[in-house]
Structure formats: structure tokens, C-alpha cells
Amino acid sequence: MSLLPWHETAAQALTSRSAAGRLPHALLLTAPEGWGLHNLVNWLALHLLGQEADRPAEDLAHPDLRWVKPEGAIIPIDVIRSLVAFAVGTPQGGPRKVAVIADADRLNRSAANALLKTLEEPPAGTYLLLTSSHPGRLPPTVRSRCQAVNLRPDAELARRWLQETVATDDLALRMFEHGGAPLAVADGIAEGEVPLQGLLAQALSTRQPETLIQPLLEQGLVGVTGRWFRHVVALTAGSDTHPAVTGILAGLPDRLPAERLSAFATELLWVRRQLVSSNSANERLLAERLLHSWRELGRQAPVTA
């Protein structure tokens, strides 16, 4: 699991601080989704332990490494209690221990509170590496106890990397749907993902919208809501010169009113929040809800003479 081109600046800075003995013991690494935050923290964890960085650290059976990630929608308190017990122990294989908390914004309130003392006073030789693509969801008490390392996206590096990595004739459309996130684009292509614009246009015209539910679910409804949201924002802004937007406009009687598009965008965000914050969300019912609202929105569009 290697570093990606846009990681190099951050990795060099972290390496220099580590070599100089100035690396903070509690770090919060952040980046938008799809920019390889997992790759960066994987590299850093193995670097601190003196291990080769070409392997998945979370699968490594190393006595001085703990890797925590969400169980469904949350990271529960019992997992953090175990991590805290690990943190205060003595390193077994070298001078350092590393504890990674991936997607730390999924910590429930009790788990976050249980972590605070260890973040504030990390034991000597122990590094706590938290990651989040949504750091604003973390309690201020957690954020204030960590030093932030913000990975800055580089659109041009991402585009060049994708051109060298994937084979597709609709790269611009896919990058639009994924907000430019290169790993999201590459993963989608590898998994046979279909661009969303065709499904959205079809949903406005088909007499059997129920046939579109399964294709949406198969692409992962969390990801679909994000891609759908970008189409809606572009439509709201009147970006009708964008190929992704014109593909949808072809299925509409006229441009949709901005206030109705805004209301639907809010609904998309609500559905996405249900999916990522609950282990009991019914994806099929939520997909049906979105399709129904989208079709109703299309029916309400004014027809001009």
C-alpha cells in the first residue's frame, strides 16, 4: 500500500519532524474522501514502527500496533478502552507503539470521552494517529488535543495519475461525479460502476422506476448520494454547459426551480447521514424515497411554450 503522488509533501514533512524528534504524539490526519487518507496513515504507522510500508498495517500482527476502525456506523467505548490499555503498556518490539483510530469521527460520545486523557497525556513512546474525512464531526475536546495534518488535494496530480492508472473514455464525467477524488474514481471503474447521469435521466422518464432501485443499491447508496448531490448542485447553479448536467436536462421539461432543487439536495444529505450514522438504516426504503422525490421534482418543473 504505497503513498500516492499528492501525499509526498505531507510525508516528507512528517519524516523530517520524526527524525528531529518533534513529531507530536497525538495527530489528527484529515483529507476529503477518496484522496487516500488510509494510504497515508498506513505509511506513517509502519514508518514509526520501522516496518516496510508496502503492506496493510491493519492486518499486521505486530505487538506494538493497534488499528481501530468503526463497527458499522460507530466506534464503541469498549474498543477504545482496550486501545487505552494498550497505550499505557510497555513497547515489546522496539521503542515505539502506534495506535490508529480510522474514521475517528465515528467515535460515539462515551468512546470519545474515554480517549481524552490518553490524547492529552500520551505515554512516552506512544503515537496516537486519528484519521477523519469529516473532522468537524469530532468533538472539540478531541480535536483540540491533537495536532492536525491536513492533506491538501491536488487536482492536476490526481488527473494525471488517473490518466496513467485507469482506462476510460468518460474520465471528466466520473471526476465530476466524485468531486475530483481520484481513488473514488479508480475504485468505481474497477468495480464496474456506471456513471450516475444516465440513471438519473432515466428515472425522470421511465414508467417503472422500481427497476432502478437495485442498480442504485449495487453501486452503494452512500456513494450514490454524494454523486447525486453534485449533479443537483450543478443544476441549481445553472451549469447547463457541463456534459453531466446536460445529460440530465435532456430528460426534463425545463430547468428545475432552484428552491426545489435545494430542498432535494437537503433530502440527499439527510439520507446520507442516516446511512453513515446508523447500523439499522433500510437502504432500499431510502433509495425508494429518493427516487420518488426526484420524479416528483421532475413533474413539478414548469413547461415553457
Each residue's pLDDT tens digit, 6-21: 999 999 999 999 999 9
Task: Kindly state the DSSP code that residue 89 receives in the 8-state scheme.
Answer: S
Q: Which residue has the higher pLDDT, 106 or 256?
A: 106
Residue 305 has pLDDT above 60, yes or no: no
Specify whether 143 is located in the same domain as 39.
yes
User: Which pLDDT value is given to residue 187?
Assistant: 94
Rounded CA separation 95/297 (Å)? 61
pLDDT tens profile 166-219: 989 889 899 999 999 999 999 999 999 988 988 888 888 888 888 999 999 999
Which residue in the block uniquely carries the three cell numbers 468495480?
191
Residue 23: name the closest of 51, 2, 47, 39 by CA. 47
Specify whether 27 is located in the same domain as 132.
yes
Those residues whose C-beta lies under 8 Å from the C-beta of residue 60, and which sit 6 or more positions away, are 46, 51
Q: Is residue 204 in some structural domain?
A: yes
Compute the average pLDDT of residues 239-258.
58
pLDDT tens profile 251-282: 554 556 778 889 999 999 999 999 988 878 89
Q: How confident is the model at residue 231 (pLDDT cuts 50, 70, 90)?
A: confident
Residue 177: name the closest of 165, 160, 189 by CA. 189
Total domains present in the chain: 2
Q: In this prediction, what percent of the chain has a pLDDT beyond 70?
A: 91
Residue 239 has pLDDT above 60, yes or no: no
Specify whether 100 is located in the same domain as 236.
no
Specify whether 253 is located in the same domain as 114.
no
User: Which pLDDT value is given to residue 253?
Assistant: 47
pTM: 0.85
Specify whether 149 is located in the same domain as 198.
no
Domain end, chosen from 123, 153, 183, is at: 153
Compute the average pLDDT of residues 148-155.
92
Q: Is residue 135 in some structural domain?
A: yes
Domain end, chosen from 153, 173, 202, is at: 153
Q: Is residue 159 in some structural domain?
A: no
Domain end, chosen from 132, 153, 174, is at: 153
Give SS3 for 42: helix
Domain CATH code at residue 255: 1.20.272.10
Residue 304 has pLDDT above 60, yes or no: no
Rounded CA separation 139/236 (Å)? 32
Q: Which residue has the higher pLDDT, 114 or 123?
A: 114
Rounded CA separation 256/239 (Å)? 12
User: Which pLDDT value is given to residue 57?
Assistant: 92
User: Which pLDDT value is given to residue 235?
Assistant: 81
Specify whether 132 is located in the same domain as 12.
yes
Q: Is residue 168 in some structural domain?
A: no
Specify whether 135 is located in the same domain as 224.
no
User: Which pLDDT value is given to residue 303?
Assistant: 44
Domain CATH code at residue 125: 3.40.50.300
SS (H, E, C) 111-129: HHHHHHHHHHCCCCCEEEE
Range of the domain at 41: 5-153
Specify whether 229 is located in the same domain as 291.
yes
Q: Is residue 43 in some structural domain?
A: yes
Specify whether 23 is located in the same domain as 128.
yes
Specify whether 47 is located in the same domain as 138.
yes
Specify whether 228 is located in the same domain as 127.
no
Q: Is residue 160 in some structural domain?
A: no
Q: Is residue 172 in some structural domain?
A: no
Specify whether 88 is located in the same domain as 27.
yes
Q: Is residue 84 in some structural domain?
A: yes
Neighbours of 198 (CB within 10 A): 13
